[in-house]
Amino acid sequence: MSFNNLDTLYRQVIMDHYKHPRNRGKLEEDALVVDMNNPTCGDRIQLQIQVEDGKVKDAKFEGEGCSISMSSASMMTQAIKGKSIEDALRMSQLFSDMMLGKEIDPGNLEMGDVEALQGVAKFPARIKCATLAWKAMEQGVEKN
Amino acid sequence: MDARSIREQFPILHQEVNGHPLVYLDSSATSHKPIKVLEAVDAYYRNDNSNVHRGVHTLGTRATDKYEGAREKVQQFINARSTKEVIFTRGTTTAINTVAHSYARANLEPGDEVIITPMEHHSNIIPWQQAVKATGATLKYFELNEDGTLNMEDVKKSIGPQTKIVALTHVSNVLGTINPIKEIVELAHRQNAVVLVDGAQGAPHVKVDVQDIDCDFYCFSGHKMCGPTGIGVLYGKQELLENMEPVEFGGEMIDFVHLYDSTWKELPWKFEGGTPIIAGAIGLGAAIDFLTEIGLDKIEAHDQKLTAYAMERMSEIEGLTIYGPSKNKRSAVVTFNIDGVHPHDTATALDTEGIAVRAGHHCAQPLMRWLDVTATARASMYVYNTEDDIDKLVSGLAKTKEFFGNVF
């Protein structure tokens, strides 16, 4: 296999989230619903977030897309659950910085599996795939 | 035709991408430019740069001669009756929009129908959606057969006295389907409907004779046929163009300007408001020289042979689906998916091997829904591609399949 570069992008944990997405589905209770797509490639996501007392109580997603966009949605929903809106938005900013190849300092924020997407920064054509779910989350909480 | 010696004339192909020699299989998106075209554009800017149809000075005359000379080359290339029928535009999109704005809005009324096909590029869908919204006419679609060819029975049934415009692609940018344009034009003309052909993928690959096809409008882009970006052509029959209002107003297109009214120049200039795309037109002229020297019949034969080879080799890969008609009915496009691998992931994997393919919806979202996929990967070929490129693609695809098979 001479796809060495590719391993930096498609880490095992990413493919695991792609194959076994966390929080895929629909929320039963009232939730903020955001539909977003990437018009250049056709990826689409519907994100549902339930906010209670300024915190993300639950989050689920549905959609179609590549391994990067879908695994990112899976990781994002996992990461923001239980976080305050402010922290969720801070994480989104950290994620954007990470996509620009910047060194990030999450401080007390638990980014979890999300950091596995670091390698995407080296594949500029794929950054939009990775940020789709985060942009949807930002739009959702802004609507709130 | 020797693709290897043709390759020598394309400097961009001689580079490494991600540590591998570039294998460019995305010519349906845009083709590369031979030295001849690069030099023609460069020489214009170095020696002749000036505005056209204006100054009395020598550079102005040289620029005008070159610009109008390019129009003559286009006229001969598509066998238009006269240069009055050749309008330079920004590309296929602008050409279609010109007809949809000018001809369609002036001639459509409630009850009238515009018919297109599900295999159209967005640029041959949206202008008609907007035109029927503005006029109260109705937009309809011909049906496709299962293999992605047009259902000619449905075409015959659908075209009636209410049909005013039929707009369809010559060659599908996704399926590679070559549509029987001449037959459709005949059917439409029997009902006095006009036919617009989107030739963006047609003109680069298939010999176009607008008098033989007898279509009313034929639109194409320079950049997909070895010319520069930003230049395209609207061919229209003179009697239709004479009666159409321009859609862009300004310098270059006027006859007399009074305080409250103005009159237009004669054809083709009444449709070319503003300083035209001079260098682009000259580059397109050089591209036409390049293609004509090789011969469109030879290019077509080369495309056919290479496409057949690609389809044969690619179908050796288990779990790879090819969309569209069989090899003898298609142009140099092979759209495909590997089971369980998203096309973006396929394209990224191939890119690490220096292989450029397109992934996504190819500006044909209705067709993606017809195919029941959200996206596909596409390999498209042109004069400079060889069997060696296809071999590299096939081994890249095999590796891609193995890679994503292993990580799962």
Q: Which A-chain residues 40-99 have CB contacts (< 8 A) with chain B?
A: 40-44, 64-68
Q: Binning pLDDT at 50, 70 and 90, where does residue B61 land?
A: very high
Touching check for A124 and chain B: CB below 8 Å?
no
Lowest mean pLDDT across A11-15, B142-146, B390-394: A11-15
Pick from B18, B353, B408: CB nearest A19 = B408
Summarize the confidence of residues A50-79 as an average pLDDT.
94
A&B contacts, CB < 8 Å: 60
- Per-residue confidence band for B54, with pLDDT thresholds at 50, 70 and 90: confident
Contact indicator for B373, B364 with CB cutoff of 8 Å: no
Residue among B344, B399, B404 minimizing CB distance to A129 = B344
pLDDT > 50? residue B408: no
pLDDT at position A1, please? 45
Q: Which of B44, B57, B40 has the alpha carbon at shortest distance from B290? A: B40
Nearest to B361 among A1, A42, A66 (CB): A42
Does the beta-carbon distance from A42 to B374 stay under 8 Å? yes
Domain boundary assignment for chain B? 3-31+296-407, 37-293
> Is B226 in the active site?
no
Report how far apart, in Å, the C-alpha atoms of B179 and of each of B100, B140, B281 are. Answer: 21, 18, 28
pLDDT at B288: 98
Are the beta carbons of B344 and A5 separated by less than 8 Å?
no
Catalytic-role residue among B215, B219, B226, B363? B363
Cα–Cα distances in angstroms (integers) from residue B291 to residues A15, B277, B298, in the given order: 46, 21, 10
Could you tell me if A8 lies within 8 Å of chain B, comparing CB atoms?
no
Q: Give the pLDDT score at B2.
A: 87
Structural domains of chain A sorted by starting position, each given as residue range(s) with its CATH number in brackets? 4-143 (3.90.1010.10)
Looking at residue B53, what is its pLDDT? 86
pLDDT in tens, B211-225: 999 999 999 999 999
Topology of domain B37-293 in CATH is Aspartate Aminotransferase; domain 2 (3.40.640)
Q: What's the confidence (pLDDT) of residue A33?
A: 94
Residue range B260-285: mean pLDDT, rounded: 96
Instruction: Specify the pLDDT at position B407.
Output: 55
Tell whether omega for the bond before B268 is within 30 degrees of 0, i.e. cis: yes
pLDDT in tens, A86-123: 999 999 999 999 999 998 888 888 888 999 999 999 88
CATH topology of domain B3-31+296-407: Aspartate Aminotransferase, domain 1 (3.90.1150)
Asked whether B196 and B165 are in contact (CB, 8 A), the reply is yes
Per residue in A24-48, pLDDT (tens digit) is 999 988 889 999 998 877 789 999 9
Contact B35, B11 (CB under 8 A): yes
Q: Which pTM was predicted?
A: 0.93
Contact A84, A55 (CB under 8 A): yes
Q: What is the pLDDT of residue A2?
A: 55
